[in-house]
Chains A and B, each alone.
Chain A
C-alpha cells in the first residue's frame, strides 16, 4: 500500500511539470490543448479514502493553477472530477472484491473498462474547465469545440502513456 502511494507521489510532480512546461504550449489549430495531469486522479488506487482523493485533487489543481496564474480554475475542475470518480467507478463496474490489489488501469481492468472510465472523467473535466474559464454565453461554440478536441487529445495521450508504462503482472 505504502509503496503504491510512493509511485503516486512521483507521478503527481512529474505530471504537473509535464503539463505546465510542455503540454500547455500545445495548441493544435488554436483549440486542442491536452489536460494530461488528471491522469494522476484516474490512476489513484481504488481503495483510497475519499478525503485523501479530494485533497490530492485540490493540490494538483492548485499546482497547475499556480503555474498559469489561473488560481482556482483547475482546482475547481479537478476537485469536481475527484468527487465524481467513485460514482463513475460504480457505474463502470467496480473490481471484484476477492481479487484485491487491482489498480484502475488497462493492465488490470481491460481496455474497454479503462477507456469508458477515463472518457467520462476527461470530458467532464474539460467541459467544466473551459466553461469556467470563459463564463460567456457568446463563446459557447468555442467552449464545446475546445472540450471535444481537448478531450480527444487528452484521451489519446492517456492511452499512449498507459501502454508505454504498462507493467507485466
Chain B
C-alpha cells in the first residue's frame, strides 16, 4: 500500500492531470448533471452579474440600430392588425370570443451574454424562474426565431441558440408549404441549413422559411430566414438548402420569450399516440 502511495506521489503531475481531465470529461458528457448541481447556480449568478454589467455599458452603442429594428417590427404588427385591413366581402360574421383563447404568452427579456463563434452557442437572458421562465420556451427577436430556453436559474436563463449542433427546429418553406428541419452545420453564423425538403418540389432562392408550429414550442409563421443556395446530390431524395437567418444572431439585444400555454396538453396527446 505504501508503495502505491509513493508511486502516485512520485508521479503526482501525471495523476493530477488524469483526475482533472476525467472531471472535465464527466462535465462534457453529462451536462444536465452539472446543471442540477449547486455549483451551476453559483457560476450562473456570477456570470449573470458580469454579463449584466457589461451589457449595461455596451447596449448604448446599439440603441439606434435597436430602435429601428423595433420600429420596423411595430410597423409589421400594425399592418396585420384587423383594423388596417378593408373588408371586401359583404358577408359578415360574429367573432365569438371563446374561440380565441390565448395560446402564447410573451415575456420581454434582454440578451446579456451571447456567442456565435463556438460549435454550440448559448445565449444568457436576464429573466429566470422568478419571472416565470421555464425550459422549452421559445426565444424570438424582432427579426425572427433565435432559439429555445434550456436551463433556468433564479434570475437568469440560458437559451440554446439556433447556432448549436443540438438545435433542430421544425420549419415550413413558405411558397410551397413544405415541411423541413432547420439545423446549423457550424462555420458561418449567418447561414443555416434546411433539411428534409423532398426533391420533387421546386425551391427557389428567396423563398421564405418560417416556423411550422408543430414542435409545440414556436408559434406558427415566425420568420426563420430566406433561401440562398439549393443543392441536391445525385439520387438523393431530399434537398440540402442553405439559407440566411433573418435574425442577426451576433447583435441580439431585446428578445421575446414565448410560452405555449397548451404545450402540456399537446405533448400529452402526442405521447398517447406514440404509446398506442
Using CB atoms and an 8 Å cutoff, list the residues of chain A in contact with chain B.
Answer: 17, 20-21, 24-27, 29-31, 33, 50-51, 54-55, 57-58, 61, 65-73, 75-76, 79-80, 82-83, 86, 130, 132-134, 136, 139, 142
Whether B116 contacts A25 by the Cβ 8 Å rule is yes
Whether A25 contacts B250 by the Cβ 8 Å rule is yes
Whether B117 contacts A26 by the Cβ 8 Å rule is yes
Which residues of B (1-39) have their CB < 8 Å from a CB of A? 12-14, 16-17, 20-21, 23-29, 31, 34
Whether A83 contacts B17 by the Cβ 8 Å rule is yes
Whether A79 contacts B12 by the Cβ 8 Å rule is no
At the interface, yes or no: B168 with Cβ under 8 Å from chain A?
Answer: no
A-B contact pairs, 26 of them (CB 8 A): A20-B113, A20-B115, A25-B115, A25-B250, A29-B188, A30-B191, A33-B118, A51-B12, A51-B13, A54-B16, A54-B17, A66-B46, A71-B31, A71-B34, A72-B23, A72-B26, A72-B27, A72-B28, A72-B29, A73-B28, A75-B20, A75-B23, A79-B20, A86-B13, A134-B186, A139-B186
Chain B interface bracket (under 10, 10 to 19, 20 to 34, 35 or more): 35 or more
Q: Which of A24, A50, A67, A133 contacts B13 (CB 8 A)?
A: A50
Quick one: given A133-B119, A134-B186, A142-B186, are A71 and B165 in contact (CB under 8 Å)?
A: no
Residue in B closest to A71 when the chains form the complex, CB atoms: B27
Whether B25 contacts A76 by the Cβ 8 Å rule is yes
Quick one: given A51-B13, A79-B21, are A30 and B250 in contact (CB under 8 Å)?
A: no
